[in-house]
Amino acid sequence: MSALLKVTDVHIAYGKVEAVRGVSLDVADNEIVTIIGANGAGKTTLLNAIMGVLPLRGRTTFAGIDMAPLDIEDRVATGLSLVPEHRELFGTMNVEDNLELGAFRIAKAVAATSLERVYTLFPRLKERRKQLAGTLSGGEQQMLAMGRALMGAPKLLMLDEPSLGLAPIIVADIFRIVGELRAAGVSVLLVEQNAQAALQIADRAYVMELGEFVLSGTAKDIAANKGVAASYLGFQHEGESAI
Amino acid sequence: MNTTIMLFLLQDGITNGAIYALLGLALVLVFAVTRVILIPQGEFVTYGALSYAMLATGQVPGTARLAVAMGLVAFALDLFFARKALHARLVIRSVALNIVFPTALLGLVYALVSPHTPIAVNIALALLIVAAIGLFLYRIAFQPIAHTSVLVLLIASVGCHLALQGLGLVFFGAEGLRGPALSNAAVTAGPLRFTGQSLAVYGLTVGFIVALWLFFGYTKTGKALRATAVNRLGARLVGIRTTLSGQIAFLLASVIGAISGILIVPITTLYYDTGFLIGLKGFIAAIIGGLVSYPLTAVAAIVVGIVEAFSSFYASNFKEVIVFTLILPVLVLRSLAAPQVEEEKD
């Protein structure tokens, strides 16, 4: 099986400072892949560059298409979608309008089924569908951002720190839903600081440090790795909730 | 003063205020979507009004030729910016919009122009000409610098205003023009006499506000424009082209400007540079609305119109001074009330 997303030897620079140096990764169909690493390792930068928000040097292909000449809007049309760290919702518009705009490029009939699917996945959004996005709680905003991205029927969903600033019970909910996406045929590339939770649902993982991948493998192997446990999983034992 | 005079002044003020409201709404719309403070809004007014007036006398206005020239430049820009990823669909779309549309329009103007052309046809032609100019103005002057700061966009905006005003002098000459009234009917109610023209002003203003409300509230394109205004990155991430949003915003603004012009030109003589002052009053209303609030802008525009009417009665020499002084307390209040915010760039 060929890779859905293939990133080869990518460099990303802010001015003269290289934030990401020679990174390669791939995500296959129906796979959940996570990138874990400390704050400032370059994870968000990498996702933004794959989406086209930032320029990169190197090669990225998605579903066999070279991404280099495409801008953000064209990349969305190929089935690539990003839920950004700051969610970037339309705060003064209501939940339903936000979701509807998520299907901006999709035919109306298809969008109606997507909307039902999103409401099944996130019943909370259905309850709040007439509420303004800016007045939602942090967890609901994260759900809305994910729902909006799913409305575009993406093949690959890139999630940037979905657990950031959320209560543990909501985090568990979000991660459960991310796990369910696979059943719906959506691959996931997940960037997380909450390494323990991410490793539990992922198939494979990359560990990022100072702009480079220092380790990669199956999520199980990475979770069992002593260095990773010490650096990213803290002193927590299995079964303890991650905060 | 007696009640009759007061009523006359109020009527006058509301008629002018309705026009300022249209222009103010267009300014808010353009700023929200593109962050451009649209100084050339006044030129859309003049171009619409004077193109209509010239068409009514059976002449071909220079604006029709300007649209063709701007279309050529826009086409060249399209090709240049897409040179790395040219495909047939893009070229065909660009040729259709930038070359075929304005050329066909010019042809249509030459074919239809005569002193006996029906008013409705002349209005439609004038609107189409100005719409094309508005669209190409965004493509040429603002789209290439859409990601820069508000200040850079403002400077470009002032440049466009000066260029279009100069061209206006070339096209229409230094003499003022008047256009034929839309209707000569009149209704009398008590001491007040409503001409068909002023009724058309009210009707179109209310109609436009309702249409804009429906467009932004209930259509996919309208919602996409709002989304662009609220969060540009968010809009791009769902696949909304912010360049297209900008073009639609400019298209709407230019049509609104041209309609305002066509509504005023039978009432007052317009010169090539009159539009600027009219646009500026819409701008005051937009500023009072904080460049974000449509209802506040509309209300402020009516107030501006009424203040103008009363000050031209009591102190006509200071009419403009009084109107523009309105903006000072608002600016002071706003800068005291609102904390300093860092400007968004994308």
pLDDT tens digit sequence for A134-157:
999 999 999 999 999 999 999 999
Indicate yes or no: CB of B239 within 8 angstroms of CB of A90: no
Q: Give B209's pLDDT tier (boundaries 50, 70, 90).
A: confident
Domain extents in chain B: 3-337
> Which residues of chain A does B236 touch, with a Cβ-Cβ cutoff of 8 Å?
72-73, 76
Query: Which chain B residue shows the shortest CA-CA distance from A157?
Result: B237
Taking only residues 79 to 138 of chain B, the set having a beta carbon closer than 8 angstroms to any beta carbon of chain A reads: 84-85
Note the residue count of chain B: 346
> Which residues of chain B does A76 touch, with a Cβ-Cβ cutoff of 8 Å?
236-239
Q: In whole angstroms, give the CA distance from residue A17 to residue B27.
A: 40
Q: Give A235's pLDDT tier (boundaries 50, 70, 90).
A: very low
- B179 vs A233, which has greater pLDDT? B179
CB hemisphere CA count around B70 (13 angstroms)? 26
Which of B34, B147, B346, B242 has the alpha carbon at shortest distance from A76? B242
A32 - beta bridge partners? Answer: A188
- As a whole number, the mean pLDDT across chain B is 89
- Residue at A89: amino acid letter: L
- Write down the ipTM of this complex: 0.89
Q: Give B208's pLDDT tier (boundaries 50, 70, 90).
A: confident
3-state secondary structure of A99: helix
For residue A54, what is the enclosing H or E element?
none
Domain extents in chain A: 1-71+156-167+189-234, 80-153
- Helix orientation angle between B3-34 and B220-230, rounded to the nearest 10 degrees: 80
Indicate yes or no: CB of A73 within 8 angstroms of CB of B84: no
For residue B204, the model assigns a pLDDT of 87
Q: What is the DSSP letter of B139?
A: I
Q: In whole angstroms, give the CA distance from residue A147 to residue A95.
A: 10
- As a whole number, the mean pLDDT across chain A is 89
A187 - beta bridge partners? Answer: A156
Give the torsion sign (CA, B49, B44, B118, B104): positive
- Residue at B337: amino acid letter: A
pLDDT digits over B280-295, tens only? Answer: 999 999 998 888 888 8
3-state secondary structure of B339: coil
Can you tell me the mean pLDDT for B96-111?
94
- Residue at A123: amino acid letter: P
Out of 3.40.50.300, 3.40.50.1860, 3.90.1640.10, 3.30.420.40, which CATH number does the structure's domain A1-71+156-167+189-234 have? Answer: 3.40.50.300
Q: Testing the interface with A: which of B238, B244, B345, B346 to mutate, by most A Cβ within 10 A?
A: B238
Query: Which chain B residue shows the shortest CA-CA distance from A83?
Result: B237
DSSP B27-66: HHHHHHHH----TTHHHHHHHHHHHHHHHHTT---HHHHH
Can you tell me the mean pLDDT for B221-249?
92
CB hemisphere CA count around B216 (13 angstroms)? 22
- Residue at B167: amino acid letter: L
Point out the least confidently predicted range of A137-141, A229-233, B155-159, B265-269: A229-233
Indicate yes or no: CB of A73 within 8 angstroms of CB of B239: yes
A35 - beta bridge partners? Answer: A191, A206
Q: Which residues contact B83 (CB under 8 A, 6 or more apart)?
A: none
Q: In whole angstroms, give the CA distance from residue A94 to residue A131.
A: 5
> Which residues of chain A does B223 touch, with a Cβ-Cβ cutoff of 8 Å?
93, 97, 100-101
Any idea of the CA torsion for A97, B143, B294, B39, to the nearest 10 degrees? 180
Q: Is B233 on the interface with A (CB under 8 A)?
A: yes
Q: Is B223 on the interface with A (CB under 8 A)?
A: yes
